Amino acid sequence: MIKIIETVVSVSEFYIRKLKPIYMEYTAIRNERTQLLNYLWEFQDKNGYISTSDIRKLSKELGISWIEIEGVISFYHFFRRKPTGKYTVYLNNGMVSEIKGFQKIKEAFEKETGAIFGETDPTGTFSLFETSCIGLSDQEPAALINFMPFVNLTPKKVKEIVSHLKKGGDVAEIKDEVKDYVRYKNDKGESVLFREYKEGDSILKLVKKQPQEVIQEIKDSGLTGRGGAFFPTGLKWEFARHSQSMQKYVICNADEGEPGTFKDRVLLNQMPGLVLEGMITAGYAIGATKGFIYLRAEYRFLKKKVEDTIKHFYNIGLLGENILGKNFDFDISVVMGAGAYVCGEETSLIESMEGKRGGPRTKVYFPVERGFLDKPTLVNNVETLCVAARVMEFGSEVFSKKGIEDSQGTKLLSISGDCKKPGIYEIEWGMTIEEMLDLCGADDVNYIQFNGFAGTIRTKDDLHHIISGVEMGNKYNPYIRGGGSVMIFNSKRDVFDILTNFSNFFIAESCGLCTPCRAGNYLIGKRLEKIKNGEATYEEIEEIKSWGKVLRDTSRCGLGKTSTNFIVEAIDKFPELFKEKGLKEKSFDLSAALNDYYDYVKNN
Amino acid sequence: MDLRKVTITIDGKKFEAIEGQSLIEAAKNNGFYIPTLCHFKEIYPPLGTCRVCTVNINGKPDTACTRKVFDGMEVEVNTPEVLDNRKAIVEMLFAEGNHYCPACAKSGDCELQRKGYEMGISSSRFPHLFEERPRDFKDDRIFLEHNRCILCKRCVHEVKTNKGENVFYFQNRGHNMLVGMDYEKAKELTDEQVLEAAKLCPVGAIIAKGKCSVKPFGDRKFDVDKNIKWIQSEDMELNIPKDGKKKIVATTSLAGCFGCHMSLLDIDLGILDVLELVEFNKSPLTDIKKFSKQCDIGIIEGGVANSENFEVLKEFRKKCKIVVALGECSIWGGIPAMRNTLPLKDCLEEAYLNSISSENNENIIPYHEDIPKLLNKVYSVSDIIKIDYYIPGCPPNAEHIWKAIKNILFGAGEKVAYEEFKYD
């Protein structure tokens, strides 16, 4: 029997007892609504789900309607409205997981636990769910059990895990230590990020400079947004600095949801201090006193480490009031996401931090003008902030002298899939795809997905392409923008399986706010299924390109705009595959359409 | 307050606008129409959900409701590319939901339907999904019909209790998103507020129970202007070859109600003129059951619901040079496709066993090899064969049908004006 423990304390008591510590950390914010996600997490963790009575209580306390809270809960896929088992398993169903044996692991979990995916077993012990990429692509198949990582799963390992848990064992006892495979960095010892971390060094240099000088240094370095949008960081900081407001915020975007990307996980695990120093640098430069790390729920296992580092920074005077005696105050706290890819988009992230559904805002203002709680807000990626700290520490040339003329610096690539050495590669711009494949030990390459599912495709014909931070060049000297993730698939992988997996991801992760992304991705998914089954005409295949254009032109945010790149490019990159699948004339399977009828009349 | 004026250019014409205004409002104030579904007044932040007001701003696509005017703003509203993007979005909405215009209380006053007319949508390029969505009758005063909801966010933003609490709010995400209603908060609304909510809804998703006044055809907000002069058949005669050779026409009604055929006859005496120009072959109008020769044009009413419909349709494609889908049922399924969201089993049992007209202890579902077999759902004719032209309407107006057919047979293809479009 499932034992449901109802919370018996009143919500106000509950807040005081359980939530006060969190609440105190947000001293700068007296807006309770922003706490909604934290409250929901408290309920979710305590009972394994959020009950109707929890919602009623919250509704009364916060003065927002019940339906609004339901709306927020149903947006995030880690929040549950039905009781879950003692152990919740979230198994990654991304494409890299699929090629590493997802299906077998899924079956093993179902067999061992007696539950089926999407549900809880009859004893109320295990709940199994699939989830989008959890940032462990270098050690797939991977799952989160009670948000603790389990990697390189095999059916045997699943059996052992489940039997341990069935005996009432502790998840923490058997969880895996996630390894950070930093496979490549500049061999002359000139790595930007992976050199020795000396605590506080960048801050010591920082406080000797005027904020405007800091911004100039960042500009000189040529640093651009490492999340993949490549917006010039110095310029963004300058906009934020010039926004007039008593209160400004710095947000570190650690919602690394792009499938195949795991560099931020490695940075947060290896050098949480460097991330904090980057945030302090940004805060100092733009005149903000409050910083947040928006950590994706999938990385909850890193939360303690990050928070411990924050505490340590307070203790040694790198955070808090009057940092290093320079009359500069800065606070940092961690905010947890709850499972939504779109929250990596900066305005969605801000909406989520305000305790709302994480839908992208209409871009009337940039976040640097009006962001979190309508105050100027600087949102930067983890890697961007780390590089910024390094630039402070070693000067702009540490970055600007690297790379190629048109594109300066280095970039972390998260490489996964069919290669011998999946992991993090800090490459200098200017490397060719071929060199990269040599480094990671990929000899059979058919399909390379750059920059996540929303990125771009390269094939074995494109090995001479130069990886850089710009999109330009010509036929003889083509550049490819290397946003972060590289997924390699060999010739044994069915391209249509890959495309279907990507399509399913966008259908699951579209927030639903705008028509083209919500309906368009779903319609494209249906069409892709038809193509895969060999039921579409060649015209219908080509038609997808024009559908893709509609999504690109009219979607509300980057998710929708880029969500059809993969399929549109695939049609051009693999023409012979699609030609094989496409029909010359419309065909209609009459007998399949009559099946329901015959089944029924036969049985009656 | 200082209202600074800026100059913007829309489709080559210069207009003055107030700085800070949204483009869509600025255009409207200058008498320039940019279509939209979610925008209903200037609010911050703008809803920006439907994306129907997508235009080109200084060469880049963006939505007119979310962008503020600035000096030197160059806007393209009616280029073929932008027009097609907007049309695609409206077609997507029709394909995504279940919009049975003839069975909707909002028909004629519906903004989605109007956009369809305006943009000249005769068929959606996207296949209709026919996925069942809930119908929520739980509230005493509000009926929430999710099949028609286009998720524009108007009600989420605007309908609040006097304490400012939301009555409606989005639930779930992506394809599963829908608008949820807080029944307790809904009770706090006054009767006037409920009516306003229903009025605010651009489609027939929020219906005030017992209060939706069904207006007669012709009096509804987006009905055809009564004063329109239909193009008479004489206007066409210039294009008609004088060699006296009649064009051969075939017609059929598949899963339809014969309403389109009835409408076809509505030109009254005009039919005599028509007979000068065409000769009917296989058609219910002539009662000719079999094709006796190749035809110039085949007109199909109704969708494909059973095996016989399928065979007839296939034969039409073989025997007719041009095939025209006439009316909503043939174009996408129409009213018979209401069954598409349900399993066939439920439909059969409801029709033959459980309906109020069934005899007690009825337990026979007709089955004989000569009886056409039902397909799992009702298909549009374009699911089966290539269709050359679509004539929308339920039914299409008689003049409209003949104008279109003559155009196809003797002119340069079908051209239908907004005033002649009709889905109900």
DSSP A547-598: HHHHHHHH-SSHHHHHTTHHHHHHHHH-HHHHHHH-BSS----HHHHHHHHH
Is 50 exceeded by the pLDDT of residue B49? yes
Name the B residues in 341-370 with CB < 8 Å from any A CB: 343-345, 348, 365, 367
Rg of chain B taking only CA atoms, in angstroms: 25
Using the Cβ of B322 and the Cβ atoms of chain A, whether some distance falls under 8 Å is answered with: no
The pLDDT assigned to A27 comes to: 36
Could you say which of A66, A527, A556 has the minimum Cβ distance to residue B48?
Answer: A556
Using the Cβ of A56 and the Cβ atoms of chain B, whether some distance falls under 8 Å is answered with: no
CB spacing of B51 vs A511 below 8 angstroms? no
Least confident of A398-402, A481-485, A571-575: A481-485
Find, in chain A, the residue whose alpha carbon is nearest to that of B151: A513
Name the A residues in 534-553 with CB < 8 Å from any B CB: 543, 547, 549-550, 553
pLDDT tens-digit readout, B277-286: 889 999 999 9
The burial of A220, by beta-carbon neighbours within 10 Å (0-12 exposed, 13-18 middle, 19 or more buried), is given as middle
Is 80 exceeded by the pLDDT of residue B247? yes
Rg of chain A taking only CA atoms, in angstroms: 25
Is 90 exceeded by the pLDDT of residue B421? no
Distance between CA atoms of B54 and B60, rounded to whole angstroms? 10
Does this complex have an ipTM over 0.90? yes
Distance between CA atoms of A239 and A259, rounded to whole angstroms? 30
Query: A77 in helix, strand or coil?
Result: coil
Q: What confidence tier does A117 reach under pLDDT thresholds 50, 70, 90?
A: very high
Is 60 exceeded by the pLDDT of residue B229? no
**Residues B61 and A487: beta-carbon distance below 8 Å:** no
Distance between CA atoms of B399 and B81, rounded to whole angstroms? 31
**Residues A517 and A560: beta-carbon distance below 8 Å:** yes
The pLDDT assigned to A533 comes to: 94
CB spacing of A507 vs B88 below 8 angstroms? no
Least confident of A24-33, A423-432, B69-78: A24-33
Distance between CA atoms of A358 and A343, rounded to whole angstroms? 6
The pLDDT assigned to B418 comes to: 59
Distance between CA atoms of A299 and A96, rounded to whole angstroms? 18
pLDDT tens-digit readout, A161-191: 999 999 988 999 999 999 999 999 876 767 8
> What is the four-CA torsion angle of A138, A139, A144, A150, rounded to 10 degrees?
-150
Is 70 exceeded by the pLDDT of residue A312? yes
The first and second tokens of residue A486, run together, are: 């590289």
pLDDT tens-digit readout, B3-37: 789 999 999 999 999 998 999 999 999 999 999 99
The better pLDDT of the pair A16, A293 is held by A293
Q: What confidence tier does B361 reach under pLDDT thresholds 50, 70, 90?
A: confident
Q: What confidence tier does B401 reach under pLDDT thresholds 50, 70, 90?
A: confident
Distance between CA atoms of A72 and B303, rounded to whole angstroms? 41
Is 60 exceeded by the pLDDT of residue A118? yes
Using the Cβ of A74 and the Cβ atoms of chain B, whether some distance falls under 8 Å is answered with: yes
Could you say which of B165, B343, B374 has the minimum Cβ distance to residue A65?
Answer: B165
What average pLDDT does range B63-78 have in this prediction?
A: 94
The pLDDT assigned to A30 comes to: 45
Across chain A, mean pLDDT equals: 90
What average pLDDT does range A146-157 have in this prediction?
A: 96
pLDDT tens-digit readout, A490-537: 999 999 999 999 999 999 999 999 999 999 999 999 999 999 999 999
CB spacing of B165 vs A63 below 8 angstroms? yes
The pLDDT assigned to B355 comes to: 85
Phi/psi at A50 (nearest 5 deg)? -110, 115
Class in CATH terms, A183-400: alpha beta
What average pLDDT does range A117-133 have in this prediction?
A: 94
The better pLDDT of the pair B42, B406 is held by B42
Q: How many CB atoms lie within 10 A of CB A113?
A: 23
State how far Cα A74 lies from the chain centre: 19
Q: Which one, of A379, A345, A347, A380, lies nearest residue A226 by Cα? A: A380
The pLDDT assigned to B35 comes to: 94
Is 60 exceeded by the pLDDT of residue A17? no
The pLDDT assigned to A24 comes to: 38
pLDDT tens-digit readout, A256-268: 999 999 999 999 9
Q: What confidence tier does B90 reach under pLDDT thresholds 50, 70, 90?
A: very high
Residues 6+ apart with CB under 8 A from B382: B123, B325, B331
Residue type, A509: E
> What is the four-CA torsion angle of A67, A70, A72, A78, rounded to 10 degrees?
180
Is 50 exceeded by the pLDDT of residue A394? yes
What average pLDDT does range A95-116 have in this prediction?
A: 95
CB spacing of B125 vs A364 below 8 angstroms? no
CA–CA min distance A369, chain B (Å): 14
Distance between CA atoms of A417 and B118, rounded to whole angstroms? 49
Is 60 exceeded by the pLDDT of residue A5? no
Q: What confidence tier does B238 reach under pLDDT thresholds 50, 70, 90?
A: very low
Residue type, B203: V
The CATH classification number of B89-208 equals: 3.30.70.20
The better pLDDT of the pair A313, A474 is held by A313
Task: Give alpha helix (H) positions in A48-183.
Answer: 52-62, 66-75, 95-99, 102-113, 155-166, 171-174
The CATH classification number of A87-174 equals: 3.40.30.10
E strand residue ranges, B51-156? 54-57, 60-63, 73-76, 135-136, 142-145
Task: Tell me the CATH number of domain A496-581, given options 1.20.1440.230, 1.10.10.60, 2.30.38.10, 3.40.50.300.
Answer: 1.20.1440.230
Could you say which of A71, A515, A604 has the minimum Cβ distance to residue B169?
Answer: A71
For chain B, the structural domain boundaries read 5-78, 89-208, 242-420
The pLDDT assigned to B276 comes to: 84
The first and second tokens of residue A99, run together, are: 């090629």
What average pLDDT does range A246-258 have in this prediction?
A: 94
What average pLDDT does range A392-410 have in this prediction?
A: 89
The better pLDDT of the pair B213, A233 is held by A233
The pLDDT assigned to A263 comes to: 95
Using the Cβ of B131 and the Cβ atoms of chain A, whether some distance falls under 8 Å is answered with: no
Residue type, A191: S
Is 60 exceeded by the pLDDT of residue B213? yes
Q: What confidence tier does B274 reach under pLDDT thresholds 50, 70, 90?
A: confident
Same fold, A87-174 and A183-400: no
The better pLDDT of the pair B271, A375 is held by A375
> Which helix (H) or strand (E) covers residue A378, if one does?
strand A377-381
Distance between CA atoms of B231 and A51, rounded to whole angstroms? 64
- Which residues on A lie below 8 Å from B136 (Cβ)? none
Distance between CA atoms of B277 and A486, rounded to whole angstroms? 66
CB spacing of B127 vs A553 below 8 angstroms? no
Q: Which fold has domain B242-420?
A: Rossmann fold (3.40.50)
Tokens 């009781």 belong to which residue?
A83
The better pLDDT of the pair B362, A53 is held by A53
For chain A, the structural domain boundaries read 11-75, 87-174, 183-400, 406-489, 496-581
Q: Are strands B247-253 and B278-280 parallel, antiparallel or unpaired?
A: parallel
Q: Which one, of A272, A299, A294, lies nearest residue A135 by Cα? A: A299
Residue type, A564: T
Q: Which fold has domain A406-489?
A: Ubiquitin-like (UB roll) (3.10.20)
- Measured over the CA atoms of residue B46, residue B47, residue B49 and residue B53, the dihedral's sign is negative
What average pLDDT does range A289-318 have in this prediction?
A: 95
**Residues B54 and B63: beta-carbon distance below 8 Å:** yes
The pLDDT assigned to A407 comes to: 84
Find, in chain A, the residue whose alpha carbon is nearest to that of B67: A364
CA–CA min distance A288, chain B (Å): 24
Name the A residues in 374-403 with CB < 8 Å from any B CB: none
What average pLDDT does range A46-57 have in this prediction?
A: 93
Residues 6+ apart with CB under 8 A from A171: A87, A145, A146, A148, A165
Tokens 């609440």 belong to which residue?
A23
The CATH classification number of B5-78 equals: 3.10.20.740
Report the DSSP beta bridge partners of residue A294.
A253, A335
Residues 6+ apart with CB under 8 A from B314: B384, B385
CB spacing of B376 vs A554 below 8 angstroms? no
Q: How many CB atoms lie within 10 A of CB B131?
A: 14
Using the Cβ of A361 and the Cβ atoms of chain B, whether some distance falls under 8 Å is answered with: yes
**Residues B209 and B171: beta-carbon distance below 8 Å:** no
Q: What confidence tier does B226 reach under pLDDT thresholds 50, 70, 90?
A: low
Using the Cβ of B44 and the Cβ atoms of chain A, whether some distance falls under 8 Å is answered with: yes
pTM of the model: 0.92
Find, in chain B, the residue whose alpha carbon is nearest to that of A596: B376
- Which residues on A lie below 8 Å from B180 (Cβ)? 67, 70-71
